[in-house]
Structures are given as C-alpha cells and as structure tokens.
Amino acid sequence: METIEKANIDWSNLGFGYYKTDKRFYSNYKDGQWDEGCLTEDENITMNESAGVLQYAQTCFEGMKAYTTQDGKVVIFRPDMNAHRMYESAKRLEMPPYPVDKFVDAVCKVVKANLKYVPPYGTGASLYIRPFMFGSSPVMGVKPAEEYQFRVFVSPVGPYFKGGMKPLTLKISDFDRAAPNGTGHVKAGLNYAMSLHAIVTAHNEGYNENLYPDAKTRTKVEETGGANIFFVTKDNKIVTPKSSTILPSITRKSLLHVAKEYLGLEVVEREIYLTELSEFKECGLCGTAAVISPVGKIVDNGKEICFPTGMDSAGEISKKLYDTLTGIQYGKIKAPDGWIKVVD
C-alpha cells in the first residue's frame, strides 16, 4: 500500500465521537432491489418527512473497527460477522437484508477511501466503522417502508469510556431494555432510543452505565446499554450471561475463544443471578466500542457490590484478555483464521 499522509488529528486524545471524514458509501433499495451503490463526499441525507425511519424508527446499524497493525497494514476485525448480524437485524425489522459479501466490500471501500483517518499504530485509537440501514420512503400507517438506504461512514475514535482502563461503576437499571420476545438480540436503533432516558438518569446519579436485568423476572443479569458483560470466578472461569434478549456481541464471542484457546481458561455461558454477583472476583464489559472495560462496582437499589479488583485498575484475568484480544487486533499476536480482513 502506498504511504498515506495522515490527517492532522491528536490521535492519542480522541474520545468516542463523530468526526467527519472524506468519503462514505451508500446504496439505495427501490423496486425490490439494491442498486450498485457508490462513494460520496456528501455527509448529509435528504429524505421525505414521513420516511419510515423518521416516523417508526425503522433502522438498524452495526459497529466495527479498523486498525493499523504493528507492521503498518490496515485491517478490519471480523467484518463478515457484522454483515451477518445486520442481515438478521434487517429481517427482524422487515427491511430487505443487504447482501453479506456486498456489506464487506462496502466497508473495505470506505476504509480505503479514508486511510488518512485510520489512527497510526501505537496511539491507542482506531477507525470506527458504522454501517446502517433505514426506511427512506414515506409511510403513514404502521407498515414497512418500500424504499431503503444502506450506508457506511467511518470516524476515528478513542476510548468509549473516559479514563480508558479505569474501572466503571454500573447501576442496575430501574428501566427495562429488551422484552422477552422483543428486539434485544438485534441491533435496532429503537433499542438505543429507549435507553437514552435511562443513561441520562444513570449519569446524573453518577454512574458510568446501566446494567439491565432481564425484563421478565428482573433477577438475572443481561447486558449494559452498549456492551455485553462477563465475570471471572475465584477459580478463573469466565462466566457470561446466556439470554435470548441480549445482543450477540462479536467481541464477546471472540473473547470466549481467546480465553479458551489462547489462555486455557474455562468459559461458561449460563444464566447469572443478581444474588450471585458478589461471588465473582472480576467483572468487565466487552464490545467494539467498549473493547474490554473493567467494572469495579455494581449498585443494585443502593446496595453496593464491590469487586475485589477495586476502583484503580483492571483485574489480572481481564488484563490478560485485553492484551490478547487487542494483540490480535493490532497484529502482534497471530489471529485465528478468518478474523482479520486486510484492506489493500
């Protein structure tokens, strides 16, 4: 790949936000088919005031990252997994799924067109990739739109939680995230719209994030507003919630593989009750944006559950998981076959 002059950005101090880059991709669905799509410099979208997305939130999205590796390549972490997940999200929302291979192609095209925004190796930053899809034609009755747009843009980002690896305090939310037969397992925009009041409330009360219990019994741990959760037992097993109403995190799936195959740890996916939280020795969040973020404390209706790892740094196992996973992403550790898509 030719040498690219990088954008003038203070990479090491980036937060997690929108930064306008040069090009984005879009493809429109009309008369029953997706068009070829193309790159554009225009970051704005014009649509009908009664578009499906504006009236009934008919939209879903994805999130993944591109990295500059130690040896200077630009790579994307498991984009095929995001393509498949978006396919499922689209089906659940009665939208025409965007083909998996075209999704990966579009993502690669956008990263390639914005190479100067891919943070250099060693800065701790990465290029966040946001594919999304929405109903663009007018609806009035409650029904799916007839026309759609699939779009991908990118933004250079730093850590999702300010303070990077500083342990978080979670609140067991008074609000519910996902109904038993609802949309918690897909990446629907509406799952995030309904979490906004909950997150503003939690922030106002001094918490970093909400941890949602299962909506049906409110006795089991599910996930946070933007990441899955894992725990480490006193005998070093990784335990993570089994539930049909959480988003199947690609980071979590990767982490469980890393724990088992690279670190030789036992992993268990099972229902986790709020009453057993105090028995774990470590806790962390995992996701594309969150990477692995340690949790120091969970507050359940005023009752504090403090993990023995404390509020200063991550626990030993969480650190190992973090180092191995990010080592794979930044090309320092050999990745399992098919995990890394090189942009060339």
Are the C-beta atoms of 184 and 246 separated by less than 8 Å?
A: yes
Q: Which of 232, 289, 321, 325 binds ligand COI (CB under 6 A)?
A: 289
63: contact with ligand PLP by CB under 6 A: yes
Q: Which of 65, 109, 171, 187 is catalytic?
A: 187
26 exposed, middle or buried (CB, 10 Å; 0-12, 13-18, 19+)?
middle
Tokens of 70: 């130690």
223: contact with ligand PLP by CB under 6 A: yes
227: contact with ligand PLP by CB under 6 A: yes
Instruction: Give every CB contact of residue 81 below 8 A, 6+ residues apart in sequence.
Output: 250, 253
329: contact with ligand PLP by CB under 6 A: no
Q: Which of 106, 133, 250, 258 binds ligand PLP (CB under 6 A)?
A: 250
Kindly state the smallest distance separating residue 33's Cβ from ligand COI, in Å: 28
249: contact with ligand PLP by CB under 6 A: yes
* Burial track 151-187 (b if 16+ CB lie within 10 A, e otherwise): bbbbbbbbbbbeeebbbbbbbbbeebbbeeebbbbbb
DSSP annotation of 65 reads E
Binding mask 191-230 for ligand COI (x = CB under 6 A): -----------------------------------x----
# of chain residues touching ligand COI (CB under 6 A): 5
Are the C-beta atoms of 172 and 211 separated by less than 8 Å?
A: yes
Contacts with ligand PLP by CB under 6 A lie at 63, 223, 226-228, 247, 249-252, 287-288
Contacts with ligand COI by CB under 6 A lie at 63, 226, 287-289
